[in-house]
Amino acid sequence: MDLQYNKNEDQNLLLLSEVRQKLDKIRLGGGKKNIEKQHEKGKLTARERISYLLDKEKPSFELGAFAGYEMYEEQGGCPAGGVIVMMGYVSGHQCIVVANDATVKAGAWFPITAKKNLRAQEIAMENRIAIIYLVDSAGVFLPMQDEIFPDKEHFGRIFRNNALMSSMGINQIAAVMGSCVAGGAYLPIMSDEAMIVDKTGSIFLAGPFLVKAAIGEDVDQESLGGATTHSEVSGVTDYKCKNDEECLDRIRSIMAKIGEHEKAGFNRTASSPPKHNEKEIYGLLPTDSGKQYDTHELIERLVDDSAYDEYKAGYGKSIVCSYARIDGWAVGIVANQRKVVKNKKGEMQFGGVIYSDSADKATRFIMNCNQKKIPLVFMQDVTGFMVGSKSEQGGIIKDGAKMVNAVANSVVPKITIIVGNSYGAGNYAMCGKAYDPRIIVGWPTAKIAVMGGSQAANTLLQIQVSSLKAKGEKITPEDEKKLLDEIMHRYAKQTSPYYAAARLWIDAIIDPLETRKVISMTIEAANHAPITRAFNVGVIQT
């Protein structure tokens, strides 16, 4: 191994260590004292509940762990958005589990909490897999109610989704394991089946204090909305459980009896590990987004037997398109090539840039995968489309539009892995968040922005300098440097994977070695949802 390989490996492992350290802190939720308070009440924490519920021998994948990261510092923080979302298996059935974390502001809903819950429901709806809610929440975080309550993609959308999923035949099971108040009370009752834990679970539209203030009635919490009231008097819940463990066992028993549904029919054979060592990814991938590497070498460490059939290998070389298998699943891979290559005319093509020929190739490949019912995996490391008079005259906008059209209209599942850069229209063409990937994740090396840092910073600098000069201010070279440094620092923070994951632009920051698992679990989930519409790109310029 050469010096650059060792340097890459050290830097990637350092980035990965940073991710893990941040996750360790996030997974403490509201802190050890609040965890102890949960235990003193006889309750498991949200993460303990999920751990108890999920099949131990099966893989799982946490979504949105970085939700809310560094976003609510003035309010004391909101680790993981105050709710844990996990894709896993219960009694052999793949599902989504959503658990309120009562150690974080008593499980109150922040704006990002609502967004994360809606994302969990979206995944369940797209893939027609069961969703399980473990409810323990004090309701909307009132100081921010205007950012949570009234809009289309706010709190109320969750109950609308409950109703839609029920009509679609998607199983929903709710367990009230703590507070369930106000509008939030509709969630378990709009699920197919609901259960409640005695003495710790409670459901009511208004708590004892509000009832007293509203109508003058004195009533205790248990009589108003405890387990006995709702299991024996109101009939709101279907099962009464003595503790968290019994409640979770009941969910496992219900899930064990769910029948099989029609499958989409994606092709799968026996899984084989890559022949090349997956850990070599750390040494092959530079952390410097401007350095070259050969995308083929990453693909060889992700696909079964390190084998793939490259489509149009000699044409449009700045994108690599290949048929392969990942954990036995047939996939079509569309990956940006970071290595500088020559096109068919012998002209040099910059790494990470999409040219007309590569956009044309990718469009055809995407259409082929839709025709063959093969899920698509996009590996993003893209700085955008090629610019300049030659490219414009060659129709780069038209060819880029074709690719965006094919991605937008694809009917097969799309999975996006952001390996490195994800800039500008390249983000769109390579199936960014706006193009409905079933799952979108980033490696620790991911960077997401409208353009590269130095380009953006210098553009912003010129705007600021011009504005200051227009006001009659004198700008020295030292002032310019200080401004540039400030802009670069701010922009670098906004392009980091943590910034993206905090806002759920990506579902997770993952270890590259988890990529195969994430892709496999996503396709397995998607296989629960038969394709119901034909692939059609509509009007497309030729």
Q: Which contiguous run of DSSP H or E holds residue 364?
A: helix 356-372
Those residues with Cβ within 8 angstroms of residue 56's Cβ, 6 or more apart along the chain or in another chain? none
The pLDDT value recorded for residue 453 is 63
Residue 256 — φ and ψ, nearest 5°? Answer: -65, -20
Please state, in angstroms and as integers, the Cα–Cα distance from residue 212 to each residue in 156, 183, 205, 399, following that order. 26, 19, 13, 66
One-letter-per-residue 3-state SS of 247-261: HHHHHHHHHCCCCCC
Q: Is the pTM above the cut of 0.95?
A: no
Average pLDDT per consecutive 10 residues, the chain (542 residues; last block may be shorter) = 91 98 97 96 97 98 98 95 98 98 94 96 98 93 86 90 96 95 81 95 84 85 88 93 98 96 96 98 93 96 98 95 98 95 76 92 97 98 81 78 95 98 93 97 94 67 76 79 77 89 98 98 98 85 61
Residue 450 — φ and ψ, nearest 5°? Answer: -70, -25
Helices (H), ranges, 444-514: 453-470, 477-495, 497-502
Residue type, 100: N
DSSP strands (E only) in 383-454? 384-385, 414-423, 439-442, 447-449
The pLDDT value recorded for residue 1 is 59
The pLDDT value recorded for residue 386 is 77
The pLDDT value recorded for residue 342 is 78
